[in-house]
Amino acid sequence: MAKRVKITALILSLLIMVGCSGEPVDPTEGLSAAEIYAKAKDRMASDNYLSAIELYETLESRYPFGIYATQAQLDVIYAYYLYEEPESATAAADRFIKLNPRHSAVDYAYYMKGRINFGLRDSIVDRFYTRDLADYDESIMQQSYQDFSILVNRFPDSKYTKDAVKRMVYLRNQLARVELKVAEFYLSKNAWVAAASRAKNLLETYQGSSSIKRALQVQIIAYQNLNLTELADDTRRILILNYGEEAANFSG
């Protein structure tokens, strides 16, 4: 009998929640902006990103003005990022920048745009050098570099700038490696003019990158095969001047 009473009570409670219309009751109904925001933060803490996104968007829709709505616009960027929805995360960042161009946290929105395209969620210290991006879409790397560049130039004193600069250095080296891989490919096909051209572009665009030495070597090989002896000798002198005699002892 007691068991039957408990079951009946459970059914009644469910009916109350569903309501007479048969539609679920909005769990945020009657909650203040602060209370909805607190719920969203709890969902984030428990890695329930989709629920957090829904709460942030509900908050902004229901209470479009005030600090909680603005903070929700900012926090939903990271929620979409962790939920692995890069396009939505980027759109949220762009929207925050457009609506809040003078906000004290707008630098964070620019930083997150770079992070989204950078494609790494893990710590820059833990995972920064464990992944070769040279095989990835070059345009995505360029976009990430550009986003970080905007942050660094507009907000040099931002707490995110130091990390952004490190990522820019890494991206620059990877973009140079993309160019080098193309030059090496042309070299392997005996396409000497194309190899020399790509190496030249690397040298002009990515000065100071880790691919400079090999780019000079590729140029020398290409020039030699094109019988451009003077250019090959000039490039060899530059190679030796910057990297020593040993750098000139290489094979194709």
Which tens digit of pLDDT belongs to each residue from 90-104? 999 999 999 999 999
CB-based contact 116:93 (threshold 8 Å): yes
pLDDT tens column, 101-138:
999 999 999 999 999 988 644 434 334 444 454 455 68
CB-based contact 217:199 (threshold 8 Å): no
Whole-model pTM over 0.75: no
Class of domain 32-99: mainly alpha
pLDDT at residue 6 greater than cutoff 90: no
Q: HSE on the CB side for 121, CA within 13 Å?
A: 10
Per the rule left: phi > 0, alpha: psi between -120 and 50, beta: everything else, 103 is beta
Task: Tell me the domain boundaries of the chain.
Answer: 32-99
Query: Residue 26: its pLDDT value, please?
Result: 77
